[in-house]
Structure 1
Amino acid sequence: MKASELIQENNQKRALLTEENEHYYTNLLLYIRTKLTLSEQQSEEVLMEMLDHLIEGQQDGKTAIEIFGNDPKGYADEIVSHLPHENKRNSFIFMSEIALNVIGWFLIMRSIIIPIIGGETSEKVYVISSLLLIILILVMTGLGVKMIFGLISQSSFDENATDKKMMIKAGLYGAGGFLVIAIISFFVKEIGPSFILPWQASLGIGSILILISWLMKKSRI
Structure 2
Amino acid sequence: MNIKQMIKENNRLQDAMTPGNLSYYQDMVVYIRSSSVNEAKGEELLLEIGQHLLDAQAKGKTAEEVFGSDPEAYCKDLVEQLPPMKGLNKLQLHVMIPWIALTWFFFVQAIAGFIVTWTGGPVERMTQVRVSTLVLLAGGSYVLIQLVMKWMKNGTFQPEEEQRKINIRHMGIYVVIAVVILVGGVWLGRLLPVLHIQPWVSLVIFVIGLLGTKLLFSSK
Regarding TM over 0.5, the answer is: yes
**Does 1 or 2 have the higher relative contact order (CA < 8 Å, sep 6+)?**
1
- Distance change >3 Å, CA 158–CA 74, structure 1 → 2: same
The alignment's TM-score, normalised by the length of structure 2, stands at: 0.80
- Distance change >3 Å, CA 106–CA 179, structure 1 → 2: farther
Distance 1:195 1:141 in 2: 21
Q: What corresponds to 2:90 in structure 1?
A: 91
- Distance change >3 Å, CA 12–CA 193, structure 1 → 2: closer
Q: Could you tell me whether the CA contact under 8 Å between 1:155 and 1:161 is conserved in 2?
A: no
Q: Using the TM superposition, give the Cα deviation of residue 10 of structure 1 relative to its aligned residue in structure 2, in angstroms.
A: 0.7
Q: Which amino acid aligns with 2:94?
A: M
Q: Give 1:67-216 correspondences, 5 Å limit.
A: 67-111=66-110, 115=116, 118=122, 120=124, 123-124=127-128, 130=131, 132-160=132-160, 176-191=176-191, 196-216=196-216
Q: What CA RMSD, in Å, does the superposition of the two structures yield over aligned residues? A: 3.1
Distance 1:31 1:207 in 2: 34
Q: Could you tell me whether the CA contact under 8 Å between 1:133 and 1:181 is conserved in 2?
A: no
User: Any stretches of 5+ residues in structure 2 without a counterpart?
Assistant: none
Distance 2:110 2:170 in 1: 27
Q: Deviations over 1:106-148 (max 9, x none)?
A: 223334566498364663556xxx1x54333222222211211
Aligned pair count reads 215
Q: Using the TM superposition, give the Cα deviation of residue 167 of structure 1 relative to its aligned residue in structure 2, in angstroms.
A: 7.2
Q: Could you tell me whether the CA contact under 8 Å between 2:14 and 2:22 is conserved in 1?
A: yes
User: Any stretches of 5+ residues in structure 1 without a counterpart?
Assistant: none
The alignment's TM-score, normalised by the length of structure 1, stands at: 0.79
Instruction: Name the SS of the counterpart of 2:189 in structure 1.
Output: coil
% identical equivalent positions: 25
